[in-house]
A and B are shown apart, each in its own frame.
Chain A
Amino acid sequence: MASQWLSPHQLPRRFRIHTDTTDFFRVEYDDVVLLDAKPYLIRHNVKELRFGLDDEVKFWVKRAVDLKDGSLKIIKLVFYEKFMSHVGGIEFECFRSPRKEARILKLVAGHRNFMQGFSVEDEKGNVVRVLDLIQGQPLSFYVQDMDLDHETYFYERFPGILDSFLECVRAIRFLHEHGERHGDVRRDHVLIEKGSGNYRWIDFDYNYRHRENIYGYDLFGLGNVLVFLVGKGDLLIRDLARDNHPALSSLTEEDFSIVFQNRVVNLKKIYPYIPEELNRVIMHYSKGTNWFYENTAQLIDDLEEYRNAP
């Protein structure tokens, strides 16, 4: 069966077959995982590409080939993890939940702004997720790697990027309307699919113990992505200082991110051609704001108002 999809040199001599995936370290290259009577040939572990740091190997996430039709899959095995996360000095508890991701996959089936796939239990009841491989690059790399000055980017590329990002925000609203949260909204958790150009959210298995605002952390993530997109990257105080930027002396504490103290949010001070209506939206994520977005609908309204302005 495997020989249909693999060249002779790719074919292993013997297959080790797993029906119990509890110990994901034992599921290795060239093994076969049998899920719901369907065989998947395991290739390598997936690495998480992030912020230029060393790629982190995720041993519970495998690239695989569906041996029935040859399609490429990502197989996420069950890994329960609880840990304390820190944002701006605030500590909160995070955890991974395979069941949450399985539920969301079902909810977003056919939705063009989410990764697609399904969940299936192995013989020990582990909730394994079988995902379609998305060919494409993360939004973060796409924007940061553009060889354009900011002004050209802002006028020529940003409008289209913003429209696609608005779709992503609406997609998060869709989750919230169904009582779900993404849990780990980041710019590298949006993949731009080759061919279709669809922006797709990936990785929904993170969750956090919420306090009063159940969706606050998702909203925080959306704001970070938006500021990154408007600025064509993070605008850090040290970069402005290095370049002896003329706007440096006019920046006040209130112009910086409420969470990341070295990131400029009042981007209009650096790029004066950014319209006030857009700058006002990102300023809700600054230290100087006197009002925070409470839900995605409010953010969408403001962004649509800016986009639809004559």
Chain B
Amino acid sequence: MAQGEEKTYNKNVLIAADETENARRAVSYVAQFLGGLPGFKVTLLHVVGEPEPDYFPTTAEREKWLSHYVQRVDGVLEEYRQILIQAGFDPNDVSIRTTLRYCPSMAECILEERDQTDYSTIVVGRRGISRLEEFLFGSISSKIVTHARNCSVWVVE
């Protein structure tokens, strides 16, 4: 892009969502902030981190867990969708995307999903974890903020 040339941002918003309260807050924020405004399209993205085979004694138990999990998350995502619609989004402008993949880093998986599509904005909720917890296990939102390229990141507290 030449110097002085204005970058164009689209109105596509990707909300990285899961079953947590912080994800619900992120959805609620977008609903209140953008609901009823024309042109915005929202995708609720949930990356199902493929459960480690080591965690389950048998493949059958793993499959059972996965099937229950996906069913539960689908229900939660549909709830989020309704929150957005009730806030004024056109039902055609709110979609759900669930994808199953092996994710050593959830942040990287979310960013890779974004890279395959065309969203100018990612929205994530933040748990507000302690420094100790971040030290031990890392923070998805911090990593997204650090590594996101070619998009803006909204972190909802």
By a beta-carbon cutoff of 8 Å, the part of chain A in contact with chain B is: 80, 87-90, 92, 95, 97, 99-100, 179, 207, 209-214, 216-217, 220, 258-259, 292
Given A97-B54, A212-B139, A259-B136, 7 more pairs with CB closer than 8 A: A95-B54, A97-B55, A210-B137, A212-B105, A212-B143, A216-B137, A217-B137
Residue of B nearest to A99 (CB): B54
Digitize B48-90: 1 where CB-to-A-CB distance is under 8 Å, 0 elsewhere: 0000111101000000000000000000000000000000000
Q: Tell me if B140 and A212 are in contact (CB < 8 A).
A: yes
A80 vs chain B, min Cβ distance (A)? 5
Q: B106 near A212 (CB under 8 angstroms)?
A: yes
Is B37 engaged at the interface, CB distance under 8 Å to the other chain?
A: no
B138 at interface (Cβ–Cβ under 8 A)? yes
Pick out which of these stretches binds chain A: B21-29, B115-123, B127-135, B149-157: B127-135
A7 to B75, CA, bound (A): 67
Question: Are B55 and A212 in contact, CB atoms less than 8 angstroms apart?
Answer: no
Main secondary structure of the interface of B (DSSP, over half): helix
CB of B107 within 8 Å of the partner chain: yes
Q: For residue B137, which residues in chain A have a CB less than 8 angstroms away from its CB?
A: 90, 92, 210-213, 216-217
Tell me if A179 and B104 are in contact (CB < 8 A).
yes
Total B residues in contact with A, Cβ cutoff 8 Å = 21
Contact A80 B57 (CB under 8 A): yes
Q: Report if A212-B138 is in contact (Cβ < 8 Å); known contacts: A179-B104, A258-B132.
A: yes
Choose one: B52, B130, B140; the contact of A211 (CB below 8 Å): B140
Q: In this complex, what residue of A is CB-closest to B143?
A: A212
Residues of B within 8 A of A207 (CB): 52, 54-55
When A and B form their complex, which 3 residue pairs have the shortest distance between CB atoms, in order from nearest?
A213-B138, A212-B138, A97-B54
Docked complex Cα distance between A9 and B9 (Å): 84
Write out the residue numbers on chain B whose beta carbons fall within 8 Å of the beta carbon of A259.
Answer: 132, 135-136
Contacts of B55 in A (CB 8 A): 95, 97, 207, 209
Pair A90/B136 contact, Cβ less than 8 Å = yes
Q: 25 interchain pairs (CB within 8 A)?
A: A89-B132, A90-B136, A92-B137, A95-B54, A179-B104, A207-B52, A209-B55, A211-B106, A211-B137, A211-B138, A211-B140, A212-B106, A212-B137, A213-B105, A213-B138, A214-B104, A216-B136, A217-B136, A217-B137, A220-B136, A258-B135, A259-B132, A259-B136, A292-B134, A292-B135
- Max chain B Cβ within 10 angstroms of own Cβ: one of A99, A179, A210, A220: A210
B116 to chain A, nearest CB (A): 21
- Whether B138 pairs with A99 at a CB distance below 8 angstroms is no
A36–B104 CA distance with the chains assembled, in angstroms: 35
Neighbouring A residues of B57 by C-beta, 8 Å:
80
How far in angstroms is the closest Cβ of chain B from A258?
A: 6
Question: A95 CA to B135 CA in the complex, in Å?
Answer: 21
State whether A90 touches B133 (Cβ < 8 A).
yes
Point out the residues of chain B lying under 8 angstroms from A258, CB to CB. Answer: 131-132, 135
Q: Which residue of A lies closest to B104 (CB)?
A: A214
Which one of A90, A97, A100, A213 contacts B132 once the chains associate, using CB atoms below 8 Å?
Answer: A90
- Asked whether, in the complex, the Cβ of A220 is within 8 Å of the Cβ of B54, the reply is no
**Chain A residues positioned under 8 Å from B133 (CB to CB):** 90
CA distance A90 to B53 in the complex (A): 24
Q: Give the distance in Å from the alpha carbon of A211 to the alpha carbon of B133 in the complex.
A: 10
Also in contact, A214 and B136, with CB within 8 A (given A207-B52, A207-B54, A258-B131): no
